[in-house]
Structure 1
Amino acid sequence: MRAKPCLRAAPLALLSAIAVSTATLAGPEDYEFQLVESEIKQGEGATVTVRLIDKRTGNPVVDAVVFATRMDMQPDGMEAMTTPVEAMPSEDPGAYRFQANLIMAGGWRFSIAAKVQGEEETVESRLVFEAVE
């Protein structure tokens, strides 16, 4: 007795569905924060802008929820020198703006963590930039 064509097609359809769903799963390594500028004017109210990019497509990620930020002078050996970071609105899709008081010129590290909608894991990054006079 021969199997009906629709019964033979069912396993293929199931395998295709599994392959498609596996291909769409992403992890934190599929996303990247990038500094818009690597040199930022030193002083009170300095603006640091980063983009969150989906590395698989090159497209900006909008509506990520940034929940952890830290800015310190670790690149210049002064990790204990920190400054508060305040989120600011941005009209550029995939760009996230922050304000900080960069009280000293030199190397700064911006640590940032965010949740991307639809992803289980946290996207984290440590970006280094130079505060210039």
Structure 2
Amino acid sequence: MTDRPTGAAGTARSGTGNRPDQPVAHAATAPTTTRYALVPVPGLSLEAVARRSRLHPDMVRRFVALGLVDAERDAVGRLVFDRDAPAVLARIQRLRSGLCLNYASIGLVLDLLDRISLLETALRGRGTRSDTPPWT
């Protein structure tokens, strides 16, 4: 079997006789293994996120500008959000109303909460438990 040139996604280039959307088996892999191009999962639009979080779209745009919520731009320039954006916005609203924090403080608290979550996950993954309670 000869190794055909492939593009970045592992599909055959158009000049090889194969259709660009067909997978190509590589000589370095098992004959039954094929590589497929990843299909991007569509995100949520600004309007969908605003409706689900019960916020005005301008407020959602402000949160994106402040860096509190991650968003990307599509080919047209519209904001596209991850599926978890409404949950992040709900967390921001709870911190703002419950603790009376300003938006700079909310950004810091969100970063710390994410860091704590990563550390707890790492501890659970190690599977070690101490009989003594933590000192904090």
Q: TM-score, normalised by structure 2?
A: 0.24
Higher helix share: 2
Higher strand share: 1
